[in-house]
């Protein structure tokens, strides 16, 4: 399996996803400011991977602290703020900083800074390893749900599945969330072909998901984002499964821009559309999707295509990185604890308690 990130001997190593699939560039750093920049620029990306990277970034920051114990609280507070300012939507980032803060709160008084550093490193590894395990469990629950929902089709043929953005190893540490479900479904002989939507403007579907599927030998075809409704009309998609950056208490889900349009189309055509995500992606403190902070990115991501200018530099651009799909459009939310189907208010609250 690809190592999207790793942390050894105080060094954070990441695969710079901006250059994939044309170049596999691994970068090593001991500087937390460089790690923050990697999150901001999407060199590392995908909600669970952002969370795990945030944990390691805090460790880098703590390791480079040179002051006295009295000076540490102010330094640590600023470090957490800087990490949290890197990307606003994926709640996994805040899940990770909350875990790191909890280690600080519980141990700062009693421990030396050296011991605190070790405990924080252990916590960051735990965040990473938990996400790896979560992916395996999500895949199992997802496959069971799909077998139930698509039982009639499966009597005569295999399934064609739509996915958006990248939710695989590159985004999650383990086998992936939505892509983990697809991987396991493929291994169990349920999948005919994966349809990967390109995911404009940064092309995570076309570049990254395609790269992972090719690597695994899973048949796939890439489409432009706007093609999915037409393929559904033609009977070329049997179900959709995507990841999430933040899920609110009522099941509304922020995910890569374009997801909502796929979900609306799937609903119109009576096609089941699922979210696959770890519990760390659920923000039970928010009632509904309108409360999710949606990242707006640099206009040049749209005006240029990988460095080539395609619109005038003055073209006004609105570049939302995510949209929100209402829970009512979802067939289910598949987590490592279970697949929540039906009443999200009750189901999500139960698995978050
Ligand atoms: C399992 S990753 C789920 C989401 O994080 C993914 O679908 C997505 O939207 C990623 O966005 P990105 O901007 O590439 O970080």
Q: What is the pLDDT of residues 203-215, one digit of tens each?
A: 999 999 999 999 9
pLDDT digits over 83-123, tens only? 999 999 999 999 999 999 999 999 999 999 999 999 999 99
317 and 288 in a common domain: yes
**Residue 178 CA: which ligand 1 atom is closest?**
1
147 and 228 share one domain: yes
Q: Say if residue 123 is in the same domain as residue 166.
A: no
| Number of folded domains that form the chain | 2
Domain boundary among 108, 131, 154: 131
The parent domain of residue 268 ranges over 139-352
The answer to whether the beta carbons of residues 295 and 317 sit under 8 Å apart is no
Distance 75 CA to ligand 1 centre (A): 30
- Domain boundary, last residue among 115, 131, 147: 131
Question: Domain with 280 in it: what CATH number?
Answer: 3.40.50.10470
Separation of CA 68 and ligand 1 centre (Å): 39
Catalytic residue, chosen from 149, 245, 283, 323, is: 245
Residue nearest ligand 1's atom 1 by CA: 167
Q: Which phi and psi (to 5°) does residue 289 adopt?
A: -60, -30
Residue 31: active-site member: no
Which residue ranges make up the annotated binding site for substrate? 45-47, 87, 204, 255-256
Q: Do residue 155 and residue 114 come from a single domain?
A: no
Query: Model ipTM?
Result: 0.98
What predicted TM-score, i.e. pTM, was given to this entire model? 0.96
Whether 63 contacts 119, CB under 8 Å? no
Q: Are 161 and 207 contained in the same domain?
A: yes
Residues 268 and 178 in one domain: yes
Ligand 1 binding pocket, CB closer than 6 Å: 42, 45-48, 90, 165, 167, 171-172, 177, 204, 242-245, 255-256, 321
Regarding whether 159 and 101 lie in a shared domain, the answer is no
Per-run averaged pLDDT (10 residues), the chain, 353 residues: 93 98 97 98 98 98 96 98 97 98 98 97 98 98 98 98 98 96 98 98 98 98 98 98 98 98 98 98 98 97 94 98 98 98 96 95
Question: Could you tell me if 174 and 133 are in contact, meaning their C-beta atoms sit under 8 angstroms apart?
Answer: yes
CATH number of the domain encompassing residue 41: 1.20.120.420
Same domain assignment for residues 127 and 143: no
Note whether 292 and 166 are same-domain residues: yes
Domain boundary among 131, 164, 196: 131
| Shared-domain flag, residues 310 and 174 | yes
Atom of ligand 1 nearest to the CA of 167: 1
Q: Which atom of ligand 1 is nearest to the CA of 204?
A: 14
Same domain, 186 and 63: no
């Amino acid at each position: 399996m690809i190592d999207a990130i790793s942390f050894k001997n105080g060094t954070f190593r990441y695969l710079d996803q901006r250059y994939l699939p044309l170049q596999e560039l691994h970068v090593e750093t001991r500087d937390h400011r460089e790690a923050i920049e990697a999150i901001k620029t999407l060199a590392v990306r995908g909600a669970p991977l952002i969370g795990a990277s945030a944990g390691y970034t805090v460790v880098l920051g703590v390791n480079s602290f040179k002051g006295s114990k009295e000076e540490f609280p102010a330094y640590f507070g600023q470090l957490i703020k800087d990490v949290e300012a890197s990307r606003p939507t994926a709640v996994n980032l805040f899940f990770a900083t909350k875990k790191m803060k909890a280690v600080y709160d519980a141990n700062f008084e009693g421990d030396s800074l050296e011991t605190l550093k070790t405990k924080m490193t252990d916590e960051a590894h735990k965040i990473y390893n938990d996400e790896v395990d979560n992916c395996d469990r999500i895949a199992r629950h997802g496959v069971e749900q799909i077998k139930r929902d698509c039982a009639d089709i499966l009597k005569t043929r295999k399934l064609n599945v739509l996915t958006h953005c990248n939710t695989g190893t590159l985004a999650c540490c383990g086998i992936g969330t939505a892509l983990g479900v697809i991987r396991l479904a493929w291994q169990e002989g349920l999948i005919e072909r994966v349809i990967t939507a390109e995911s404009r403007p940064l092309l995570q579907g076309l570049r990254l998901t395609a790269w992972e599927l090719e690597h695994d030998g899973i048949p796939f075809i890439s489409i432009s984002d706007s093609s999915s409704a037409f393929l559904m009309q033609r009977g070329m998609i049997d179900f959709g499964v995507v990841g999430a950056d933040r899920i609110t208490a009522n099941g509304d889900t922020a995910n890569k821009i374009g997801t909502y349009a796929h979900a609306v189309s799937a609903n119109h055509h009576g096609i089941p559309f699922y979210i696959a995500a770890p519990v760390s992606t659920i923000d039970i403190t928010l009632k509904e999707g309108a409360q999710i902070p949606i990242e707006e990115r640099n206009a040049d991501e749209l005006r240029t295509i990988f460095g080539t200018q395609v619109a005038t530099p003055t073209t006004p651009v609105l570049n939302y990185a995510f949209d929100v799909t209402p829970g009512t459009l979802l067939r289910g939310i598949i987590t490592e604890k279970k697949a929540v189907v039906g009443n999200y208010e009750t189901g999500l609250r139960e698995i978050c308690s």
